[in-house]
Structures are given as structure tokens and as C-alpha cells.
Amino acid sequence: MPFFLAALIGALVEAAGTLVGKVLISLCIGYVTYTGIDSSIDWARDEFLSARGGLPAAAVQLAGLLKVGVCLSMLLSAVTARLTLMGLKSGVMTRMVVKAPT
């Protein structure tokens, strides 16, 4: 008898999960997962550093005087902090999306 109850409860839980999924889909509610965000930030930083290497010495000195590197660091830190507050965990962020029915 307990095996029968366990199987019945397992089937009901599985059916409820699919039912909830179907209700969310019919209401046009879904989840989107963004991956590779930390890689994009690293890419932007690396591109800036590699582009800086092709500049003439006077331009590099001027950029150092204007603290362009500090500015870039502040911008990337702010973007990273904002993404962390929005739910970024180890380069993956999942967001709920509501789409208007067409």
C-alpha cells in the first residue's frame, strides 16, 4: 500500500508541474536565461587594452593623464554591480519575461 501511495503522489506532483508550466505558457509568462555575461565584460576590457597598444605614445600619455583607465574600470565595475543586483550568478542570469498575447 505505501508503494502505491508514493507512486500516486509522485505522479500527481509531476502532473501538477506540467500543469503549472502549461498555465504559465498560456498566460505568456516564461523565463529567459542569459549566459556568458561575465565573458562579455572581460571581452570589452580586453578589447580596450589591446586597442590601447596601437596608439601613439603621446595619445597613451594623454589617456594616462586623463585617467581613461580609471574611468573604464569604474564603468565596468558599475555594470558588474548592476548585473549582480539584477541576479547575475557565475555568469548566468535568469529573468521572468511577460509577453503580450498577439
Instruction: Give a three-class secondary structure readout of the chain.
Output: CHHHHHHHHHHHHHHHHHHHHHHHHHCCEEEEEEECHHHHHHHHHHHHHHHHCCCCHHHHHHHHHCCHHHHHHHHHHHHHHHHHHCCCECCEEEEEEECCCC
User: What is the pTM assigned to this prediction?
Assistant: 0.59
pLDDT in tens, the chain (102 residues): 576 667 666 766 666 666 666 666 667 777 778 888 888 888 988 898 888 888 899 998 998 999 998 998 999 899 888 888 888 888 888 887 777 766
Domain ranges of the chain: 2-98
